[in-house]
A and B are shown apart, each in its own frame.
Chain A
């Protein structure tokens, strides 16, 4: 279960490349544990360090620049989070402290993983994103607005995702409220498509 998200104020750290993939966010070689933690150090390892093994920071990488050291909001380009479905990318971002990503568009699996882990994915046009770079930005999820010097912009978010993020809800608990509907569906479906329902230790 994630922390509820209401509003966030942060300097906006720009990482304005298109098609940033989840391999770049958390390289497979940095996924060293079988659990969901211990990943923040590997976040953007290929770009963030001059020497990843020694963790020598690359001063040119945006999150290593002093003004962005406390940033909890990332600005990105098109198709952010493409590639591997590894939720480790989102776990690494969350553990590092990122709570909101404003991008031109998101890859679908990554976007869903964000919502499940309390990170708000916001889609805005590229010209607005360019304007927000380096600014103090406020994100108000209930109002669905992003504000900074120079304007207030509205964004769209699916109702389900918004509710989950605002309240930090556990999706499985919510779904268990539909237990009867699920059982009824399976009974009817089993009659229609019996081959879908395999026997335990089938072979």
Chain B
């Protein structure tokens, strides 16, 4: 049983092995327990969340899901969230990739300024930007519009993503670029046809980061999207558990509906994520 450490430095004793697995099991239990409990609660019948007893599984029903999908605005919110997240991802990846490439490969006047700007913008608290941004959006007529929200999200996501892409491009040998240029490609052609395909892991990370930023954002969405039918999920969900009335059945069912797609994408991308993020963020 004592785990085979083939090629390892030495055999691990039984006790050490048990401790290792024990520690990991405890950590895993803590990390998945809330999610498991969420799924179980959402499957309870309508008022099942009110029970104070510890019941794992009691008359499972999909009633909460049916109510969320038919009796609430959830589908509209979902559509808004998907649109905002998809647009943010598409634009964010493109912009972050071109910027990252430019600051990785070219030395141009203003180069250091751009790098500095990307770092500093990460520190900006929402609090100082939100009021002027609100006024700006109001002036441009972009309140309650998805494009307005997307633009706001880009300011959050792009600086970090551009920096990550830059670090990844730094690891791609520049001989590849030079070969492209010698073969008559333009600098943009080199970037688009040669370097970008090589940067796929990093693109996956960037796309995922943009998506999650937009999918999980609350502050801007709360303020910018005040109309009922323009809300995104993060804003809409707050209604289910208000001060005077709360229905955790609705909330848990919609939380599962939101978290499952995100988690599936995440788990599919996670291998890329680990390599992309570590080669990127590690060298920041």
Do A and B pair up? The answer is no
B binding-site residues for A, Cβ under 8 Å: none
